Amino acid sequence: MKKQKKRTGKRDYEKSSGNVYADLARVDPEAMLVKAKLVTKIAELLTARELTQTEGASLLGIPQPKLSNLLGGRFRGFSERKLMDFLTRLGSDVEIVVRSGGRAGRRGSVSVVIAN
């Protein structure tokens, strides 16, 4: 997707596509955005429980340095499935819904919706 440059006063900026990973031309940006949203929810749940990284890592069944990497945005080594498992260990229900896209000839999409 070509980015649109806008000029406002003294600064130029580019309008985001809505996916920072796509904007930065990362490999598999859709999967990275899905993971980022799952990790954001994991971080929120750990914070709400007031857990230390050591306590959180123990609850999730991973070493503390891996949790630190995860919370620091380095989550390429974690599958979406593993991240969903972390959410269930933190007491969240994860529901996967597959629906017809109704767009013949077009590829479907994957998104994460966090419900309260």
Residues 66-112: tens digit of each pLDDT: 999 999 999 878 999 999 999 999 999 998 888 777 667 777 777 78
Cβ within 8 Å of residue 114, ≥6 positions away: 37, 41
Cβ within 8 Å of residue 36, ≥6 positions away: 21, 73, 75
User: pLDDT at residue 1 above 70?
Assistant: no
- Write down the pLDDT at residue 54: 96
- Write down the pLDDT at residue 32: 83
Distance CA 12, CA 63 (A): 43
User: pLDDT at residue 51 above 90?
Assistant: yes
User: pLDDT at residue 34 above 90?
Assistant: no
Give the mean pLDDT of 56-74. Answer: 96
Please report which confidence band the pLDDT of residue 59 belongs to, taking 50, 70 and 90 as the band edges.
very high
- Write down the pLDDT at residue 95: 87
Residue ranges of domains in the chain, CATH in brackets: 27-89 (1.10.260.40)
